[in-house]
Chains A and B, each alone.
Chain A
């Protein structure tokens, strides 16, 4: 248990680190850019949602497709995601990189706190600074509510959690980059190479071999998509958390300048192996929960109960090219849900030969999906759960009667964007500018400096 002295030291360090971040221009530049960026995302989302809602309000069937999660929240936070990817690294790097550059780190390393504590406190302060910047998307959420918009709190909180974990991953990368480079500028380039590299990985994984697709699933941008779909997925949350915390821990391991190169390599290598091991086991953790209000990641409860009992190992072989739109639909509508439910599911992408000049694959078996379970086998070309689920139940030898569930009603709304325009393009930037100016002021000298004193002895 931490002593009172240690708590006081950590509190002093945290206050110092947070103040440094909040007095830095990088932070205020980030939030100032985020305000119109996220504001534009929100205003455009409300406008488009309103356009679609005009028709949907007359036709209840169409209204079911009007989900605020997809229509409002994801686009608004999408702009925020850009800020976290491209601007937030510059804020996070300051916490460690500036200390290295200015020589302050030499003083910090002689403080009573351990290097691990120092880095942890810096990470906590960076996290707090990022959390303060949530005022931008949270104000969009409030504006949406005031406009009469609907919000499902579970999926909304889940989406914010996903973005928080993504920010943690970016901060971890930034800390690691700052620890292994000599200047903050080099660290920024390295961090952006990482974060933008994930975009490249996403593109490559979409059409690449199976190992690349597996690797691509661990990309932070792909992991964030799970949260955007309303899924609270422990393996994905663990992967993002481990990446952020692991890289920050790695930074703490390699940053002390008093290490010999051999010791630094040994310590860094050991910590990196632990991190890789955690990332490697994370996909095997189950228990994902569908928090979306429209249950988009779930089947009918009766189907789900039957699928949960299929514990003898289901193998699905896809004779499809991964970039084929049918494959993508199948992944979203069926495979993603099955992965969450069937205890031992194996999905194989069969080698597809004879692709035509425009990427169109040929061959008789192309498009065929083979299901194997308990020695039985079935084939289908469908990518609809309505056809695939009965087929799976037949393989398992069960009969399922779907349970009646209330359909998602949808929440169409035509809302005005006038208040949001004033807030995001005028009022909020003005308030942020004022706060930025105030935080850069030195503040009032405490009164104890004006009192008479005695002696300087230790």
Chain B
């Protein structure tokens, strides 16, 4: 036993473990750490495809992390508070004001980085007169529709105004009573916000410090939305219930699906035959109008230690080649105008998008906009489920949104916020 104590004992070996742990924390100094990029949706999954060209040209490795879209807002906020943001990350345009206000993102240092970008999208990335992000894609919603189902009731494409669309939808419903005409998920606000936008609702007033939903336009939009569900033209379903909308669309569970370019990739991946579907601009009360788009932009974190490398990566990701590569891979529509000269974008199913892109309607530039959109959706859901009437729901919505805006109102009135 005496001899053992001087040699390897179980105790001394165990004591080495923490030492090993500490050693593992020490950073190796050989290679520079890769740049970090966070992106959501298909962009996150497919960004690694764009990296070999960048790494070959600059020698900088990039580590991509794909964030789930539904959890990305809180993840990015927490990363901001915790000082753990990556060098470059994707933001939906509606979140730019928020992240610029909390100082999470750096302003664009050189106007040439945003040269040639879609003007409507550039407006959306401007906060207080400065560019804070580089538009990556344009994503207005259009109506994806089943050509065969519409042809069966005598239509080539869904009509562009609400009364005619309704006539068509009722015909379709009579023909296929067990299925639906539209899919508008009751917890997914984009389609509803677009209806409000088409009806001419101006959601906020008084320098964006008060809600403005109890208006004739608000009534009209909510009445249209509610009538779709009341007539059984759309299922009263949440995103957690329609687990596979692509398959449901392919099976004819519904015929018209307001959705963004992301669906192009979904349909291609699931081999839904191309002759079965096409796209048309979303209908408005008196014909198609301006829509807000859930477009995505690229930002550089204010805290990055390598701004030059980070902006080089943004420049690469928004270049014509990368945009066209992404368009082929995931259906993303380029925000870079030069890319639209390519014959690759001359496809019939993209025509509706190209047309709609010329009429952007950006949402109010307030931090609370994301939260307000969800409140609009909750109010509409209460009407659809018969819990409240439209005037009650709109009045309640105004009250709740006024509460959400209370802090902003106080700051604006104190002159602390523009």
Q: Do A and B bind each other?
A: no
Interface residues, chain A, with chain B CB atoms under 8 Å away: none
Interface residues, chain B, with chain A CB atoms under 8 Å away: none
